[in-house]
Structures are given as C-alpha cells and as structure tokens.
C-alpha cells in the first residue's frame, strides 16, 4: 500500500464491517457488515505531525518540513439509514443498550458525563487493499430528513490506530494439523481474521487463504490445514479482514409516506399533538462531546474526555397557521417544546424524541416545493416533566441483537 492513503482509497471502498470492542482500542474480528454505507463518503484520516528534514547544503538549519502520519486520527462515513442499521449510529453516539422484549431498543442521552460509549474495530475492504481502524469512537451523528429521499446519516469520530495490511515475512511453519506459522515480526491479527500465505517453500500446503487462530504476537495456526513438510523462512503472510459476514436484510427509512412529526408543549407527553404536512425537511445533530487525549510522544489517543451532550434540531416548516401560532405563542417566548419525528413501516419503527427551545431567529421566508417555508433551529433543553430528558431514540421490531 505504499503511496496509498486512506483518502485515495475512499472511492475504492467495497465494504465496511465492524466488531464491538469490549476494551477501547483492542482489535476484534468483525461480526457484521454495515449495509447502508455510501462508499464515496468514507474517510479515515490519520493525524499528521511536522518533521524537520535536513538537507546537505552546508546549512545547520533544517531545510524543509515533511508531514508524517501518526497512528490515530479521525473517521467519518455516510449512511442511507435503515431500520436495522441505524442502531450502529445510535449506539455509537449514545452508548450501548440492551433491548427489551427482544426488539425494542431505547436510547437516552445521559444526564451526566459518566457514560460508556460503544467502540468498534472497523475493517475496510478495498478493491486493491485491506485495512482496519481500531478504537473507533463516534463523536457526532447527523440524521437528515429530506423530501423525495430516504433518511440519511453522517457518523464521525476518532480512532486509535489505522492498520494497513501489508505482507509479513514468514520464519517457519510446522508439519502439523493445523499448521502453525511463525512470522518474523508481530502480525497484529486476531482470532477469526483472514490471512493469505504466498510463496512458502517445502510446506506448500500452507499457501492459500486461511482463517487463523492467534496463538501469540508472532504465531498463529491455519484453521483446517494439514502440513506436508516443515516450512522454512520463505514466503509472506498478508493479513486481510475477516471473511465477509453474510448480507443482512435491511429496509430503508423513507421520508415521504413513513415519517410523521408531532409537537407538544414542554412538560407534556411527547408525540401527542400531530403536525401533519408541515415538515419540509430537517436534521438532528448529536454531539456527545468526546475528545481524544494525546500525551507525550503518543501516536494515538491514549484516553478520551467527555462533556455534556450537545443536541440541535433544525426543521424547515411549511409556514401554515399551526406553525405561526406556535412561533408566536411559544418559541418567541423562549419556551421549550417536545418534538417527535417517527418513521413507521409495518411492525418496524424508529422514533426520535427531542426537547428544545428556539436558538436563533428563523431563516427568511423562501419558496419550497411550491409553498412558503421557514427554517428554525432548536437547542436541546432538559424537559423536567414526564419526558425527563432532552433526547431519546426508540427503534422497535428491528433486530434482537446488535451484530
């Protein structure tokens, strides 16, 4: 992968698959393929540092500066939201939850800074390469509602290490069942990962593509293999991502025909008062205020700090009597409202509940699909009534477990 960067690989991405980490930054094998990813949107960008490089021209001063990539960095992907895979974004930004009754996932923004984010190992398959990013934490999620389109998601965050998979020299292999391979340097692989053995002499049965069992930092066995000799220090082992998990059945979340808006006074019951045919478009921005911490000469985030969530809802309304009345009586007075945006398809549903107050003067009136519309922004404010939060998300009858 010399000369190939995460940025240049973005357009060649074939799939992203994830494994849920139990220890932040500890690589795990993938258990699920992310089905709704838009390939061109994926970006994994390592942090760069300035390095002075000497030039032999009789000068005592460094001649020029180069930029060397560190291990950690920032990542982002774009999704076409589905009833099933929206769980990856919600659990990433709001923390993992356990579903009730097998199929009801209820996420709530934490009311203190003490919460546990879900970290992932993301494996990336390109048409010319493979790589992994470990310790992937979600910082921001934006959920967009657009006319004539599906719901869509932008998810972004930080990662600890970017691991491009390159060939590693083999020191030896055993004539055994299964074959045990020793590499010249640490291989960095995990159980269930795939490796390609090439040009290994004598024990030629080792050559090919295998799923491995890790036995040490520089040793592993080839599952299901049988040796035909003792292999010498020849050939290479090239790690690859976990064999592709099976495609899952997912359903896009539609805006038109499936999405409904309800607006209620703060302190009341969310979802009580329907506001039909008023929402032209919208966007819910969730920022969990996680930041990576770098210390000394560390090349990746060694810790992360957390602050209170920052949530904002932007809605573009048709300017009808109902919206004008709310604006005049409630929002200009600084009073909070409860908003519910809910999409339903058969037994499946995704519900976003939000408590907020108008944060800025509305945008100017403008033509929108043959009518007059106005855009308003609302900042999340804790509702002290029955809602008792400023953001909740409920996904019903999607999947029993998060892969």
How far is the C-alpha of 350 from the C-alpha of 258, rounded, in Å? Answer: 10
Q: Do 178 and 122 share a domain, yes or no?
A: no
Burial class, 16, CB count within 10 angstroms (exposed 0-12 / middle 13-18 / buried 19+): buried
Looking at the fold, whether 191 and 135 belong to one and the same domain comes out as: no
pLDDT at 7 over 70: no
Does residue 390 share a domain with residue 263? Answer: yes
Q: Residue 182's closest CA among 170, 190, 194? A: 170
For residue range 205-215, list pLDDT tens digits in order. 999 989 899 99
Residue 54: pLDDT over 60? no
Predicted pLDDT of residue 365? 55
Task: Specify whether 139 is located in the same domain as 182.
Answer: no
- Mean pLDDT across the stretch 186-201? 87
301 and 392 share a domain?
yes
CB environment 302-315: b (16+ within 10 A), e (fewer): eebebeebebbbbb
Coil, helix or strand for 143?
A: strand
The total of structural domains in the chain comes to 3
Residue 208 phi, psi dihedral angles, 5° rounding: 135, -165
For residue 99, being part of any structural domain is answered with no
Q: Measured between alpha carbons, how far is residue 18 from residues 30, 78, 203, 226, 230 in Å?
A: 5, 15, 33, 30, 36
Determine the Cα angle at 17 with ends 95 and 289, to 5°.
30
For residue 101, being part of any structural domain is answered with no
Confirm whether 357 is domain-assigned. yes
pLDDT at 60: 57
If 0-12 CB within 10 Å is exposed, 13-18 middle and 19+ buried, where does residue 1 land?
middle
DSSP per-residue letters across 11-78: GGEEEEEEEE-SSTT------EE-TTEEEEEEEEEEEEEEEEE--TTT-SS--EEEEEEEEEEEEEEE
Q: 11 and 158 share a domain?
A: yes
Residues 157 and 17 in one domain: yes
Cα separation of 270 and 260, whole Å?
Answer: 13
The answer, yes or no, to whether residue 318 has pLDDT greater than 50, is yes
- 381 domain-assigned: yes
pLDDT at 6 (0 to 100): 64
Domain end (from 162, 178, 198): 162
User: What does the pLDDT look like over 218-253, one tens digit per residue?
Assistant: 999 999 999 999 999 999 998 888 877 788 889 999
Which CATH number covers residue 179? 2.40.30.180
In a domain, 1, yes or no: no
What was the pLDDT predicted at 369? Answer: 53
One domain, residues 191 and 275: no
> Of 190, 212, 240, which residue constitutes the final position of a domain?
240
With pLDDT > 70 as the criterion, what percentage of the chain qualifies? 89
Is position 250 within any domain?
no
Q: What is the pLDDT of residue 246?
A: 81
The token pair at 263 is 């607006």
What Cα–Cα distance (Å) separates residue 231 from each residue in 136, 184, 203, 228, 384? Answer: 37, 13, 5, 9, 69
Q: Report the range of poorest mean pLDDT among 160-164, 198-202, 235-239.
A: 160-164
Q: Are residues 154 and 174 in the same domain?
A: no
Residue 326 belongs to some domain of the structure: yes
**135 and 215 fall within a common domain:** no
* Residues 216, 157 within the same domain: no
In a domain, 294, yes or no: yes
- Asked if 157 and 198 sit in the same domain, the reply is no
Backbone φ and ψ of 214, nearest 5°: -75, 130
Q: What is residue 2's predicted lDDT score, i.e. its pLDDT?
A: 44
Confidence of residue 1 (pLDDT cuts 50, 70, 90): very low
Rounded Cα distance between 218 and 214, Å, is 9
Q: Which residue, of 162, 197, 217, is where some domain finishes?
A: 162
Return the percentage of the chain with pLDDT > 90, whole number.
51
Q: What is the pLDDT of residue 62?
A: 52
pLDDT at 357: 94
pLDDT-wise least confident of 18-22, 152-156, 159-163, 393-397: 159-163
Q: What is the mean pLDDT of residues 351-372?
A: 75
pLDDT reading at 47 higher than 50: yes
The boundaries of the domain holding residue 215 are: 168-240
Q: What distance in Å separates the CA atoms of residue 260 and residue 248, rounded to the nearest whole number?
A: 27
- Domain of residue 325, CATH code: 2.30.110
């Amino acid at each position: 992968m010399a000369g190939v960067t995460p940025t240049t690989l973005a357009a060649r991405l074939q799939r992203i698959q994830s494994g849920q980490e139990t220890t932040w930054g500890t690589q795990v094998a993938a258990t699920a393929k992310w089905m709704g990813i838009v390939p061109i949107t994926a970006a994994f960008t390592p942090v760069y540092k300035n390095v002075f490089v000497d030039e032999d021209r009789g000068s005592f001063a460094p001649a020029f500066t180069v930029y060397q990539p560190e291990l950690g960095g920032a990542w982002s992907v774009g999704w076409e939201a589905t009833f099933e895979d929206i769980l990856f974004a919600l659990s990433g930004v709001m923390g993992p939850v356990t579903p009730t009754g097998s199929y009801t996932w209820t996420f709530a923004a934490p009311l203190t800074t003490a919460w546990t984010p879900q970290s992932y190992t993301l494996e990336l398959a390109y048409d010319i390469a493979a790589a992994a990013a470990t310790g992937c934490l979600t910082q921001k999620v934006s959920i967009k509602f657009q006319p004539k389109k599906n719901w869509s998601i932008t998810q972004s965050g930080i990662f600890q290490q970017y691991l491009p998979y390159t060939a590693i020299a083999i020191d030896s292999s055993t004539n055994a069942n299964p074959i045990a391979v020793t590499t010249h340097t640490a291989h960095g692989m995990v159980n269930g990962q795939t490796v390609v053995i090439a040009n290994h002499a004598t024990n030629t049965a080792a050559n090919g593509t295998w799923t491995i069992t890790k036995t040490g930092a520089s040793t592993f066995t080839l599952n299901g293999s049988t040796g035909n000799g003792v292999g010498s220090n020849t050939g290479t082992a090239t790690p690859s991502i976990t064999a592709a998990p099976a495609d899952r059945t997912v359903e896009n979340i539609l805006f038109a025909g499936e999405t409904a808006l309800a607006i209620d006074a703060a302190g009341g019951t969310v979802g009580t008062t329907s506001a039909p045919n008023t929402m032209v478009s919208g966007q819910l921005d969730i920022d969990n205020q996680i930041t990576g911490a770098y210390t000394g000469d560390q090349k990746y985030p060694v810790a992360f700090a957390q602050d209170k969530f920052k949530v904002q809802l932007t809605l573009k309304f048709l300017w009808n009597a109902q919206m004008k009345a709310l604006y005049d009586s409630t929002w200009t007075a600084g009073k909070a409202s409860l908003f519910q945006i809910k999409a339903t398809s058969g037994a499946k549903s995704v519900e976003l509940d939000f408590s907020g107050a108008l944060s800025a003067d509305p945008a100017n009136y403008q033509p929108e699909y043959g009518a007059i519309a106005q855009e308003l922004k609302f900042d999340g404010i804790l509702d002290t009534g029955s809602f008792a939060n400023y953001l909740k998300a409920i996904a019903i009858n999607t999947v029993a477990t998060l892969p």
